[in-house]
Amino acid sequence: MDMLVKLYELKADPELDARIAEQGITIRRVLAPELSALTAWIEPRFGSGWVAEATVATMRQPPTCFIAIRNDELIGFACHDATAKGFFGPTGVDTAARGNGVGHALLLTTLLDMYAQGYAYGVIGGAGPMEFYRRSVGAIPIEGSDPGIYRGMLPLAQPSGISNSDH
């Protein structure tokens, strides 16, 4: 099921930013030359469908994909405007880095970028952890949206199930 977020009500979270910084984590927009490193990281964790979406988001100008890095290692990513305009996702955090606010920080950074680019609302496509999105950014379910835009998608494009996803 998809979820809807009022982007115009979101604010930066200085406490979350401080928590992320204290862990030595940097969240920033991906650079096009990092595409190979990004997709090599995504593929074994989340599958080829998300590689395709992250590639589209990285090739936009400016890129609409953000990454989380700790000690020069990629630990998470989040994108928007990959499968459809106004859509958040995909997003994923390495299993070893979960529970430390990385997913929340990537979500908020990406949604605030959507707002800065002129969107009033954002759609979280095929929202997995719905309670996380509800709690983190006040997202609400869009009734009748399952399977939504992903209807009829080729099986090879589905996340591989290698890791639990944050999409």
DSSP, residue by residue, 136-161: HH--EE-TT-SSGGGTT--GGGS--S
Rounded Cα gap, residues 57 and 155, in angstroms: 21
Residues 85-104 pLDDT 10s: 999 999 999 999 999 999 99
- CA Rg value for the chain: 15
Residues of the chain short of pLDDT 50, as ranges, are 164-167
pLDDT (tens digit, 9 = 90+) per residue, 48-74?
999 999 999 999 999 999 999 999 999
* pLDDT of res. 155: 77
pLDDT at 153: 82
Model pTM?
Answer: 0.92
